[in-house]
Structure 1
């Protein structure tokens, strides 16, 4: 039995033939009746899911690179700041110490110095009367940068060390505790007079400093009373000078600093990063104008905690004759 095509194929169920016939010459070139849709409509490789996956991968890789770049300087700085005792080509591998004893070879000269890392912003070099050299640097400063800076300042360091060797500082003169001794107070010399009295006190007047004690032969007790009186006077005078000098720097936006009085051996004054001003008790022996020089010097440090050119410009503004005053103070 033979069948015709029309007996078992319904053109309504399989319209491809009809569609081709109906489209005729208008059928697209990529049309294929044996597939669902056109060849041009096949799914693309860059599907939304693959695009999202690619973005996630790129984000993860980028984050890892950023973390590595952020940690690399810290790791490198930590390695470079390991302590190295007295010279060497590479940083040490021992536990980091805030203080290090190091040596710098500059030509034929050798400079031994103490390196101290602290929370500061600048690199400072200090030469002391006993010829010690102390270098203070910000935390995580590259040792190669420190040594390069020291090489540029080597001549300056050696010059000051030589000056200190040629003119060693004399020890501070303590007030003598015997009648007739001269005690300097605010730049003037006063004759010390010790008298016996049941009331212990120190008085100033008539060109004399009078110390009243029960036992005039007890020189240690006389000295203790005199030093206590000098400290009380220093607290009063220094506070007055700080109040008088502060208006010259108030426009810089700095806060009025707390004042401390200390018995310092090598400095007339100091200023901390916390904004505290310390003055040497022995300044009470100096004239008021020299006390003002030290006070203004430390107040300028509240603005510039260093001895950079900016600092000295501030000194020129608030005290134009500071060089003369410094010279006078160092000669006394």
Structure 2
């Protein structure tokens, strides 16, 4: 684990998965990131790469060949290399190997940097296509789980999520196949952008918001005050998820570039919903921010 801190926060990032594993709020004297109790979910804030969610049938197709791919890809379960650390930031890198290319036939480097700026954590991904001739097709996403509730005597269902809009459309995942039921969306009608976290909100898994609807979302204490705000400008999809049990004391705010396959999708990887394409030799930088208030 590598730690960086300032007068507001101390954060820890694990070499395994380059995963943000602790956000300690010095003002509150509290840990604000879910601490991975395996009873409900064994992770903190995994980076989803090179796939977000599931591919239909557990395989994707590229140039006529099928490749097995586990949910959310392999980066979260792979050790990264520490490449840079200073007072305010730490960077880890993962590069393709011959073994990886048996499952994912692309040359890449993924550099994940966490930077502290006062009470904000900037999570930056540099995706590098290290091929000199072939495009890189990928999806990437964040999956941070934040403590909810954060005070004794409170329940998760006392808390709220605040969005910037009063109406949002979302899709659900089909349990048996893990496909997105995009043809049967539902609508959330909110008052002042506020969604109550009820005990049944996550009974049908994640709520998936597409079409750039969610560019900012906040977790709020029972009095309606935000304590975590995630800003993800330019991200086309967003997931809201937790374990369905009311005793799972966390909520995930998930910015995505790409997601699970649509129901019935049987095409090749470049045709996958939300798939990203990076030309040979190019680098693409994406980032989102977590602000503690």
Establish whether TM, by shorter chain, passes 0.5.
no
Structure with greater proportional helix content: 1
Normalised by the shorter chain, which TM-score bucket? under 0.3
* Higher strand fraction (1 or 2): 2
Structure of higher RCO (CA pairs closer than 8 Å, 6+ residues apart): 2
Q: Normalised by the size of structure 2, how large is the TM-score? A: 0.24
Task: Tell me which structure has the larger Cα radius of gyration.
Answer: 1
